[in-house]
Structure 1
Amino acid sequence: MIAYDLYGAKSLSLVLAREHIEEILGISLDERNSSYQGGSYYMFGSNDSENFILKVNLDPFDDEPVELNFPEYPVLLYINATVRSSDIEGSIKKGACFKLLRHEVF
């Protein structure tokens, strides 16, 4: 099954969140810039396969949270199109900085 997960962090800046995720998952997030993603953000993977997107929870166009149901989380981590959701969740839980906010399976 392919999962789409959303995690949030309350107490980390975007830069510190990047360092944390890179360390606990053993990956390297590339810095990117897109008005669609709210300016600077970080990504691992590609759009046509499993990918991770780390960004701020602020829509630059309307100054509202991107995730309206989770305004208290200033940093968001999207894990898209993964078949290893439970393994990733286990690693992220060990770090205790991110909370699983949404888990969808297709």
Structure 2
Amino acid sequence: MRRRSVEPADPRCHRNAGSAHLGALGTRGQKASVAVEPKVSAGDFTILIQAAQAGIGIALLPELECQGALRDGRLVRVLPDWSAKDGIIHLVFPSRRGMLPGVRATIDLLAGALKAQV
């Protein structure tokens, strides 16, 4: 896999697909926060992957979503020494009272799977 080592402040990173703000943490403890103007904005990783592959800009993506494209060379890591800040995932359900066993099983399954990825 070809790697391009650049910094978040590099103007090439300002042409992006996805977010209007790039916040990143470096491997040596550096922090960067850069305001950018996205060319494409979407809540769907597939759209962001396609935009990045089409050369529209860079995209901040979960590795699980783009590992095949990285492996095949359709995508290239442009900030290999930087990562996004940790986020929060919310699982929304109506109420714990009267929760169906299937809902509880789904919550437990997702919690276990996410914990294993971290």
Do the two structures share a fold, i.e. TM-score over 0.5?
Answer: no
Q: Structure 1 or 2: larger helix share?
A: 2
Q: TM-score, normalised by structure 1?
A: 0.26
TM-score normalised to structure 2 length: 0.24
Q: Comparing both structures, which one devotes a greater share of its residues to strand?
A: 1
